[in-house]
Amino acid sequence: MAPPSIDELAAVAAALAAPGKGLLASDESTGTIGKRLEKGGIENTAENRRAYRELLYTAPGIGGAFSGVIMFKETLGQCASDGTPFVEVLRRAGVMAGIKVDEGLVPLEGGEEGETSTRGLETLEAACRQYVAQGARFAKWRAALRVEEGRCPSDLAVKVNAEQLAEYAAICQAAGLVPIVEPELLIDGPHSAETFAAASEKAIAACVAALWRRGVALEACLLKPQMVVQGTECSAPRAAPEQVAAATLRVMRRVVPPAVAGIMFLSGGQTEEEATRNLDAINKLAKEEGRAPWSLSFSFGRGLQASVLKIWSNAPPSRASEARAMAGALAEANAAAARGEFAGRHPSVTSAPGATLHETWRGWRTDVDPAAAPPPAPALALAGV
């Protein structure tokens, strides 16, 4: 069977970016979800991972809040407790299945300390064919870029990661998958919101240029950036949602072409409540100004899961229904924010003053045993792609 045409992929992208709907990012690798499970006293086993994802995928009302769910390759092949494949569980709810296709971060040869590129291009074409056969409709590839005043992201890191994202997107479209392009700028460090905004412009503009060079159809892809926020160690007071909204929209208008189907923001270590209120402010401002040619929605992981996992962790089976209800409440809150209509109390139980969902392992850790680390990416070979 021939892969979908660009027009068909554009229709899928438009459906994923449907007004008032967003994406649940449940594509954590076995190691990442394991850290979160074990933090709550839950053993990192395949069955526990499956049971936790089933709770998320069967939450009430997800069909009205989510257009798609990003899955890890293990989860794509798993089933609900009644034997129904997860892909089918989601399809019955009106939700499309997506798949994380990158193989994680590696140190960037020639880059600044801690800079990375992403693995997985060598086997991506064959993997995409397999994922399509398993029912995936879209894909995600994550690049991670450090932000440091006057130093990071380096020109090399921006170029290499932009080229990798563009090559991934081209391979996905050829295979029949809508690509989500994720140049994540990490919030680690003391940088200001102004520094973060400049780095965001630089990274996203490079990605757009690389997509053009690769011939990627922008109407058949989605962008997954971070909102413009200051670093976790910044001494300035936390920006109000209205400030985050103004800074974020300014960057997006400068560098994201109108042809892009949708902008699906990541939560990136913000608390659940911060992520929701910032998204709501972005959409309120966009509606007030009437100058946003794309859907402005969410592709949240921790921002949709932290409270669910807290309730489910170390809890008797009878609390599974409570955790499932929390998953539905968080989905509903963010769907409202994607319409600019969120109001009232946030359902989160993890957003107390001073709380954080920041995870230090989201970038490349310098304390990794070199003997156990994957080899660095050959930056020079990629720079001329």
- Residues 343-354: tens digit of each pLDDT: 999 999 986 555
| Range name among 4-8, 262-266, 353-357, 378-382 with the lowest pLDDT average | 378-382
**Largest separation between any pair of C-alpha atoms in the chain:** 57
How many helices (H) does the chain have, and how many strands (E)? Answer: 14, 10
Q: What is the mean pLDDT of residues 142-166?
A: 96
Is pLDDT at 358 greater than 70 in this prediction? no
Measured between alpha carbons, how far is residue 57 from residues 27, 132, 138, 325, 336 in Å?
Answer: 13, 20, 17, 12, 19
The residue among 26 and 268 whose pLDDT is bigger is 26
Identify whether 100 is a catalytic site residue.
no
Q: What is the mean pLDDT of the chain?
A: 91
Q: What is the pLDDT of residue 372?
A: 45
DSSP output for 160-216: HHHHHHHHHHHHHHHHT-EEEEEEEEP--SS--HHHHHHHHHHHHHHHHHHHHHHT-
For residue 149, pLDDT beyond 90 = no
Q: Is the pLDDT of residue 361 over 50?
A: no
Q: What is the pLDDT of residue 40?
A: 84
What's the angle, vertex CA 337, arms to CA 59 and CA 183, rounded to 5? 90
Q: What is the arithmetic mean of pLDDT over 116-138?
A: 98
Confirm if 101 and 369 have CB atoms less than 8 A apart. no
> For residue range 161-209, what is the model confidence (pLDDT) as tens digits?
999 999 999 999 999 999 999 999 999 999 999 999 999 999 999 999 9
Annotated catalytic residue: which of 115, 182, 273, 274? 182
A 10 A CB-CB count for 313 gives 17
Mean pLDDT over 124-130 rounds to 98
Positive/negative CA dihedral, 111, 115, 120, 125 = negative
At CB < 8 A and 24+ separation, what contacts does 314-323 make?
A: 314/40, 314/41, 314/42, 320/55, 323/55
pLDDT tens digits for 275-323?
999 999 999 999 999 989 999 999 999 999 999 999 988 666 667 899 9
pLDDT band at 58 (very low <50, low <70, confident <90, very high): very high
Q: How far is 281 from 285, CA to CA, in rounded Å?
A: 6
What does the alpha-carbon distance between residue 365 and residue 105 come to, in Å, rounded to a whole number? 10
The answer, yes or no, to whether residue 251 has pLDDT greater than 90, is: yes
Give catalytic status of residue 73 as yes or no.
Answer: no
Task: Give the pLDDT score at 350.
Answer: 82
Burial of 10: CB neighbours in 10 Å, binned 0-12, 13-18, 19+: buried
Q: Which pLDDT belongs to residue 320?
A: 87
Instruction: Summarize the confidence of residues 148-160 as an average pLDDT.
Output: 95
Share of the chain above pLDDT 70, in %: 90
pLDDT of residue 368: 43
Residue 22 DSSP label: E
| DSSP output for 247-278 | HHHHHHHHH--TTS-EEEEB-TT--HHHHHHH
Query: Of all helices (H) and strands (E), which one includes residue 37?
Result: helix 30-39
Catalogue all structural domains in the chain, each as residue range(s) with its CATH number. 6-383 (3.20.20.70)
pLDDT for 186: 96
At 383 the pLDDT is: 32
pLDDT digits (tens, 9 = 90+) for 68-97: 999 999 999 999 999 999 999 999 999 999
Catalytic residue among 224, 272, 273, 274: 224
Report d(CA 176, CA 369) in Å as an integer. Answer: 38
Model confidence at 381, pLDDT cuts 50, 70, 90, reads very low
Q: What are phi and psi of 129, to 5 degrees?
A: -60, -40
